[in-house]
């Protein structure tokens, strides 16, 4: 067989057509090989002189990078801009519109590409958060340079004046920042005793006890239950806690339509770091328990697993509120899920007098009369605040409490 092949080659070598075809084939192969080597060499050269970092809006670095863009103004010349989903104390943060942009920084040519998708993925829900990615390419640059720029941007955002806690709300598949709310001092929350101060001290101790929990092999999580009639300040306590401890607030509505066990688990796992996780009116989602059924798509077992399951977030302070603690299943509010229960009830005349003095600081002479007028009556903080707001321009009328205290109903005996 081998000898036959050699014979054909020998005969073909004497043919001009065969020789020409062979030469062309070798030339084509050489050109293809040359192009491949050239492309490989070019790619290798690009890898040596260019560095690219890609970020998306699901990362903390993305926010820091836009902070750096705002701080440096390197893309101030861009004529096409769009609001980003990054917020600062000053308001909305603008960035270049989707597409390719360029700028010079520290003697380097930088290419900036912004891309945006309508959903989190082909298989994701239509309501999923739009995913935006940005790619920054430096010519003759280093990854360390881009990391430094991101860190500078994060420091710039952190240095801005903070007016209060950042509010985050879970929107089906992602946490959305809604902006900051004004800080509230703990002493402005009305209570007849020091239970609010004890709550603050407990949460402060928990947040600083990571090593203590790790040494003892205990999950670094703590839950709180705030309960009491409507208007007693449960939401105000959450805001005051976040303000006092420098935390944000992540609000999770487990009763919303469309929220299921998997989405709830995702929400608990991905809750913003450094935020109080607040589930308000938790009894509304479970008005009755029948084999795990719930008003929303969340099952009772799904809620319990999300709170303290294997994948539950560490370092998390969970605050649940309810107007009806008697409606809650004991499994939900046992230690390990709700470690500290704080009742917020009605307040008496002495505490109400402190609120009056705060409303009318220039009329201390009216405080004793207001306290005496209230007598032994007790009120919700919301009712007292509403009364004082309604009479904010008339301190004397506010102090009289005329109309604030319900008059006793007179009954008469029918003559026989």
pLDDT, tens digit (0-9, with 9 covering 90-100), for 182-241: 999 999 999 889 999 999 999 999 999 999 999 998 889 999 999 999 999 999 999 999
* Distance between CA atoms of residues 372 and 385, nearest Å: 18
Lookup result for tokens 């299921």: 260
Highest mean pLDDT (candidates 52-56, 100-104, 387-391)? 387-391
Indicate the pLDDT class of residue 291, thresholds 50, 70 and 90.
very low
Structure tokens at 388: 């004082």
Q: What number is the average pLDDT over the span 48-60?
A: 78
Domain(s) labelled CATH 3.40.50.300 in the chain stretch across 177-343
Give the residue carrying structure tokens 């002479």. Answer: 365
Query: Residues 93, 62: contact at Cβ < 8 Å?
Result: no
Q: Between 1.10.10.60, 3.40.50.300, 3.40.80.10, 3.10.150.10, what CATH number should domain 177-343 receive?
A: 3.40.50.300
pLDDT of residue 351: 92
Does residue 22 contact residue 113 with C-beta atoms inside 8 Å? no
Instruction: Give mean pLDDT, residues 291-302.
Output: 67
- How open is the CA angle 185-188-192, to the nearest 5 degrees? 130
101 backbone dihedrals φ, ψ, rounded to 5°: -135, 165
For 317-337, the pLDDT digits (tens) are 999 999 999 989 899 999 989
162 is written with which tokens?
């903070």
The proportion of the chain whose per-residue pLDDT surpasses 90, expressed as a percent, equals 33
pLDDT at 153 over 90: no
237 versus 73: the higher-pLDDT residue is: 237
Question: Residues of 291-313 as b/e, b for ≥16 C-beta within 10 angstroms?
Answer: eeebebbbbbebbbbbbeeeebb
- Find, among 323, 319, 358, the residue nearest to 340 by Cα: 319
| 0.75 exceeded by pTM | no
DSSP for 35-96, written as a single string: HHHHHHHHHHHHHHHEEEEEEETTSHHHHHHHHHHHHH-TTTT-S-EEEEEEEETTEEEEEE
Q: What number is the average pLDDT over the span 289-310?
A: 71
Q: Quote the mean pLDDT of the chain.
A: 80
pLDDT at site 289: 44
């Amino acid at each position: 067989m081998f000898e036959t092949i050699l014979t054909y080659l020998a005969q073909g070598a004497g043919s001009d057509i065969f020789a020409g075809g062979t030469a062309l084939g070798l030339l084509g192969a050489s050109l293809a090989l040359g192009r491949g080597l050239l492309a490989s060499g070019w790619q290798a050269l690009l890898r040596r002189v260019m560095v690219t970092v890609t970020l998306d809006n699901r990362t903390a670095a993305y926010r820091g990078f836009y902070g750096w863009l705002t701080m440096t103004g390197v893309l101030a010349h861009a004529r096409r801009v769009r609001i980003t989903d990054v917020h600062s104390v000053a308001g909305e943060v603008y960035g270049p519109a989707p597409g390719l942009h360029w700028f010079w920084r520290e003697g380097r040519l930088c290419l900036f590409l912004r891309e945006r998708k309508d959903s989190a993925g082909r298989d994701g829900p239509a309501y999923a958060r739009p995913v935006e990615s940005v790619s920054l390419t430096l010519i003759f640059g280093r990854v360390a340079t881009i990391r430094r720029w991101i860190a500078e941007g994060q420091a710039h955002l952190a240095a801005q004046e903070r007016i209060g806690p950042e509010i985050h709300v879970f929107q089906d598949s992602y946490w959305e920042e809604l902006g900051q709310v004004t800080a509230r001092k703990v002493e402005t929350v009305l209570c007849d005793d020091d239970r609010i101060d004890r709550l603050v001290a407990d949460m402060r101790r928990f947040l600083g006890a990571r090593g203590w929990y790790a040494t003892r092999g205990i999950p670094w999580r703590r839950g709180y239950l705030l309960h009491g009639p409507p208007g007693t300040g449960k939401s105000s306590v959450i805001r005051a806690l976040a303000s006092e401890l420098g935390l944000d607030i992540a609000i999770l509505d487990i009763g919303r339509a469309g929220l299921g066990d998997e989405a709830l688990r995702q929400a608990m796992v991905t809750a913003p770091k450094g935020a109080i996780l607040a589930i308000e009116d938790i009894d509304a989602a479970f008005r009755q328990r029948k084999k795990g059924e719930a008003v929303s798509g969340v099952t009772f077992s799904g809620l319990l697993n999300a709170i303290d399951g294997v994948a539950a977030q560490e370092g998390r302070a969970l605050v649940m509120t309810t107007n009806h603690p008697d409606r809650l299943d004991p499994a939900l509010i046992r230690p390990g899920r709700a470690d500290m229960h704080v009742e917020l009830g009605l307040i008496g005349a002495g505490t109400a007098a402190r609120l009056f003095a705060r409303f009318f600081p220039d009329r201390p002479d009216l405080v004793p009369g207001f306290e005496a007028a209230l007598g032994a009556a007790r009120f919700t903080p919301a009712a007292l605040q509403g009364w004082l707001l309604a009479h904010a321009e008339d301190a004397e009328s506010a102090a009289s409490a005329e109309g604030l205290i319900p008059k006793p109903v007179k009954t008469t005996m029918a003559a026989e």
